Amino acid sequence: MKKIKIIIYTIILIIIGFGSTKIYKKFSTKQSHNLYKIETPQKKTISQSINAAGILELKEFYKIGSQVAGIVKDVLIKENATVKKGQLLAEIELIKGNTDIRATKYNVEKAQQEYDYQKDYYDRQKQLYKSGQLAKNAFQRVETDYLKALDDLNYQKATLEKFELELKNSKIIAPADGIITNVGISKGMAVLNDFQNILFELAQDISEMKAIFDIDESEVGQIKPGQSTIIRINSYPELLIKSSINDVSFIPKSGVNNGGAFYKATAILNNETRILRPGMRLNGLIKIAKSENVLCINGLAFQINSEILGKIAQELKYGFKPLDEKTKKDFKKANLDKGVRTVWIVENNTFIQKLVIVGLNDETNWQIIYGLKENEQVLVDIQEPNIMDNEYGKWFQGAL
């Protein structure tokens, strides 16, 4: 009886083991085909955009400084005030006051008197010289004194004009109609006559603002005037403003980021409500191009690991045909101004690497300009084969 039971148990174990093996092999074979995923190129519409951060600035404004050094005597205007061209904004008291002007006026009077005397004397001596009653060397000395007096008079007059201009420039006036957006001085403050000493900022028109985008050097070649953009102001996250690129700078901004340069791109924004202010941070979505009904593939196709794919080919007993480096190099050299990429396709149980030229992309789909057809099977995902074998092997280990 015991022998019969042993025989029965043995037969059952053999059947279970055989069945488990069949199941594992069947399941493993099925999963082997899942070591890779393919897609065929499809016709789609692609809109490519670039995200860029930036800041708001006034569209047109004056930075008003002082052309003279001195002490602020009075500030006659406040921030946000509307002013007219020529309106007095502030007065600067010159360090020397009017002392230079008074002293120079006195010098001009003396020089004028000396000149008048020398002019009359010169005219008389000139007549004597012409009539032969005065020696040439004597006349030359008279002429020299006369010209010296003339030079001194002109010098003193020029000096007076200079000091009078300084006095005039001590009155800071508005260069145009507009709104004072910033007052950088107060009464009693010392000011210098340099370009860094900004006393006022005046905006001619704040009904329009200027968005300044920072464009990375890797993307600036794709930005062109006229491209539409949607702008979100950080201070008003629910407000979306439509505009377009007005211009792109030729020279990069000062400073670099991680070794790269940034360029300025500008867009003009409507600000009739006056809610936008200089210095507000913003983000813009710049639509650089759009193509309709073009052949596209998933961007995952460019991320296939050739080494892992080679292992999969061995596992599945597929052919494996990668491109040689010279072919890649020559193709890239012949298409320097184009987007060159490599993809893998499956054809007749063979993995074949191909060179393609890409166009627009929306970060998911990439336009194929050259290198692929609609019916080709393009690899978009692969799995490490030994990982799956080990995993399924653990499941059926006891049954084997």
Tens digit of pLDDT for each residue in 293-313? 999 999 999 999 999 999 999
DSSP letter (8 states) at residue 260: B
- Phi, psi values for residue 399, rounded to 5°: -80, -20
pTM of the model: 0.53
In a 13 Å sphere around the CA of 6, the CA atoms on its Cβ side amount to 3
Distance CA 297, CA 343 (A): 10
Phi, psi of 76 (to 5 degrees): -105, 5
Q: Where are the domains of the chain?
A: 2-39+304-396, 50-58+211-287, 61-199
Q: What is the mean pLDDT of each run of 10 residues along the chain (400 residues)?
A: 60 57 46 80 92 91 85 89 91 76 85 91 90 88 91 89 78 88 88 80 87 92 93 94 94 68 94 90 93 93 94 94 95 92 96 95 91 94 70 45
Q: What are the tokens at 336?
A: 């320097």
Say what the pLDDT of residue 255 is.
55
**pLDDT tens digit string along 72-82?**
989 999 988 88
- E-strand ranges in the chain read 36-39, 42-58, 61-65, 70-75, 82-83, 88-94, 171-173, 178-183, 190-191, 198-203, 208-216, 228-233, 236-248, 262-270, 281-298, 319-321, 339-346, 350-361, 365-370, 377-382
137-185 pLDDT tens trace: 988 998 999 999 999 999 988 988 887 777 777 888 898 888 888 898 8
pLDDT of residue 31: 46
Give residue-wise pLDDT tens across range 276-296.
988 999 999 999 888 899 999
Q: Which tokens sit at 315? A: 């596992």
Q: Is the dihedral of CA 232, 236, 239, 242 positive or negative?
A: negative
DSSP H helices, 94-179, are 99-130, 136-169
Architecture in CATH of 50-58+211-287: Beta Barrel (2.40)
Report the SS3 class of residue 16. Answer: helix
